A and B are shown apart, each in its own frame.
Chain A
Amino acid sequence: MTLVSEKNEVRPDGAAAAPTPRRPARKFRFRVNLRGLAFAVGLVLALEALTTWYVRSAYVPRPSEVFAALYAELLRGDLIRDAGQTLQTFSLGLLFATVAAIAAGVVLGSSPRIFSAFKLIIEFLRPLPSVALIPFAILILGVGGTTGVAMTAYAAFWPILFNTYYGVRDADPVAVDTARNFGLSRPAVLRRVLLPSAATNIAAGIRISAAIALILAITVEIITSSGGLGYYIVRMQTATRTEDMYAGVVAVGILGYVINLAVAALERKVVFWKTDVRDGGAR
């Protein structure tokens, strides 16, 4: 074997292989989980049988009645309007929380001194259940939509804050040194290296916060009777329209499920490289 051909073999990863440019898998592949679907349908059917023949109570309607009520309410438009209001409170709250928490997390993560100044107050506020602050928020902000957005934002703030903080603080020093070596200023390093490095953490924080934000949005609606799906559920409960109450619960469940799907899809799209790495490209 001549030296030249050996050198060619030495670099099979170079230009030798005809490359076919491709982007990383960003497509959201929708696969129906057949097994899970079958189990869910079976469970509903079992519940139907149970409520038809064994449990006969005005407070436990049959699933078929609940779905019929849901359908009727959807047609009437009430449920849609209420769901829209809940979604608005949820979205605004999560948006404010995301913006504020990322900004605060970046500041805390890039300066140990600032973090130590805020540490005590953060450690105190974090374990405090957000719902305990709802009465306080009502006193300050009244029973309007503002309270809902504020409480949702407050509760959703913490997971994103901590995830951003750890993401920025634990950014790879080699990645940071690389950028500094190329003469990037501190703000540039922050924007172009620290923030993208923390993106996987931030996305995880937002996913956790989305679930919490929905809890708070519904809770505030239940307590303040200010409209939305939470208030719908309370209203139907007071009117003992049990089927409609359950329809409201199912609607909240569907809303939560859709939100989770959307956040997960967004996460896959934005921090696509995370799955790249996990798929075994690098390690």
Chain B
Amino acid sequence: MLGAATERSPDRIGKVGARTSPAGRPTPVSATDSSLVKSTPGDRPMPGKAVPTEGLTSMTTDLQQHPTGRSSAVQTPSGSPILRVDELRKRYSDDGPLVCDGLSFSVDQGDFVAIVGPSGCGKSTMLRMICGLLEPSAGEVRLRDQKIVSPPPEMALVFQDYTRSLYPWLSVERNVRFPLAKRRDLSKEEKAARVAEAIETVGLTGFESYHPGQLSGGMQQRVAIARALAFRPRILLLDEPFASVDALTKEGLEDTLLDVQKQFADSGMTMLLVTHDIDEAIYLADRILVLSKPPCAVAEELVVDLPGPRSQVETRSLPEFLRIRAHIHDVMGLSAQRGGTRGAARSTA
């Protein structure tokens, strides 16, 4: 049984806004016109009516009409996806609540995928399962058709809590070098070069000998990102990386992330960003997965066709940006208030 994301044929990748039912079966949605296309962000349809379901479709069909932009990575025919999440379920204890329920999606190499969902919907649990830190109760995660059972060397995870994930007893330079310490295949010079490059990418050159306790929050999170970059992962997982920094620092870090992706583009670095911040997801990602309220499952998947290079002020004021934003708000509002009716929608389809 495959989710909507895994069932797509390569040429249609990212173009179909199908909805996944709780059981993981794809629900075809007919492309009909609706009032939502013309509506403004402030003019949201009432929850509980049938309009949003149709609006969803028109939204995504509308997005299709903008095939330009940064999403070229999405359209490259790369054969099988680099990461495939299949019917992931998690219960922390036998009689505990279901945290994740049939989570399925796939990510192609070079994609920047954002996963948004209401807080407490199991995003972090999902990410921990994807990177092999937590064993799923059912389902599996495959990295290039290899089932993940322990943290693979091709993934690096940046945690939200930099104060807890950085090592206060190590300097910035040694924190960044930390993941390379046991790599015997790299010479000392190669390691030093990688560390210097990673530190430079996040703009912390000159701060190598500082300790995390001497840096501001935003700088500490840069160190955490640099550390992940020095590891040279194929997939960079980010768990609410900017949730604990102030708004201005956050914008700076978001741009750093875009720079990083550009810089490592030829190596095809794939980004998977988990966030509760819808704006951040739209600004950064090529593709957005919207999760339902707990137990989490993919409620909707959509392509962000915003022109690049993106900039904080211009991109965020594009009508397209605002439309996507309003749309995700609707979807999340839907899944929060009409959680029980998704089954009904399926039966009528």
A13 at interface, CB cutoff 8 A: yes
B: interface residue count bin: 35 or more
B81 at interface, CB cutoff 8 A: no
Interface residues in chain A, defined as those with a beta carbon under 8 Å from any beta carbon in chain B: 3, 6-7, 9-11, 13-15, 18-19, 21-24, 172, 174-175, 177-184, 188, 192-193, 196, 199, 271-273, 276-277, 279, 281-283
Instruction: Count chain B CB atoms within 10 A of each CB in A14, A15, A23 and give the residue with the most.
Output: A14
Q: Write 14 A-B pairs (CB below 8 A) sorted by A numbering.
A: A10-B312, A14-B219, A14-B222, A14-B252, A21-B207, A174-B161, A181-B133, A181-B155, A181-B156, A184-B182, A273-B168, A276-B168, A276-B213, A281-B214
A174 with B211: CB separation less than 8 A: no
Within 130-170 of B, Cβ neighbours of A (below 8 Å) are at 131, 133, 151-153, 155-157, 159, 161, 163-165, 167-169
Instruction: Return A283 CB to nearest CB of chain B, in Å.
Output: 7
User: Which residues of chain B are within 8 angstroms of A279 by Cβ–Cβ distance?
Assistant: 213
Instruction: Return B198 CB to nearest CB of chain A, in Å.
Output: 13
Within 216-266 of B, Cβ neighbours of A (below 8 Å) are at 216-220, 222, 231, 248-249, 251-252, 255
A15 with B205: CB separation less than 8 A: yes
Instruction: Return A188 CB to nearest CB of chain B, in Å.
Output: 6
For A182, the closest partner residue in chain B by CB is B179
Total inter-chain residue pairs, C-beta < 8 Å: 121
A180 with B251: CB separation less than 8 A: no
With contacts A3-B311, A181-B156, A283-B163 known, what are 7 further pairs, Cβ within 8 A? Answer: A6-B312, A14-B202, A22-B214, A174-B161, A199-B169, A273-B169, A281-B212
For B255, the closest partner residue in chain A by CB is A7
Give CA–CA (A281, B163) in the complex, Å: 10
User: Which residues of chain A are within 8 angstroms of B152 by Cβ–Cβ distance?
Assistant: 183
Interface residues in chain B, defined as those with a beta carbon under 8 Å from any beta carbon in chain A: 128, 131, 133, 151-153, 155-157, 159, 161, 163-165, 167-169, 178-179, 181-182, 202-220, 222, 231, 248-249, 251-252, 255, 311-314
User: Which residues of chain B are within 8 angstroms of A180 by Cβ–Cβ distance?
Assistant: 133, 151
Give CA–CA (A6, B219) in the complex, Å: 18
User: Which residues of chain A are within 8 angstroms of B157 by Cβ–Cβ distance?
Assistant: 177-178, 181
The answer to whether residues A182 and B231 also contact, given A14-B252, A174-B164 and a CB cut-off of 8 A, is yes
For A184, the closest partner residue in chain B by CB is B182
Q: Tell me the interface secondary structure of chain A in the complex.
A: helix
User: Which residues of chain A are within 8 angstroms of B204 by Cβ–Cβ distance?
Assistant: 14-15
For B216, the closest partner residue in chain A by CB is A13
A6 with B313: CB separation less than 8 A: yes
Instruction: Return B220 CB to nearest CB of chain A, in Å.
Output: 7
B159 with A174: CB separation less than 8 A: yes
B213 with A175: CB separation less than 8 A: no
Give CA–CA (A239, B329) in the complex, Å: 90
Give CA–CA (A283, B168) in the complex, Å: 13
Instruction: Return A201 CB to nearest CB of chain B, in Å.
Output: 13
User: Which residues of chain B are within 8 angstroms of A182 by Cβ–Cβ distance?
Assistant: 151, 156, 178-179, 231
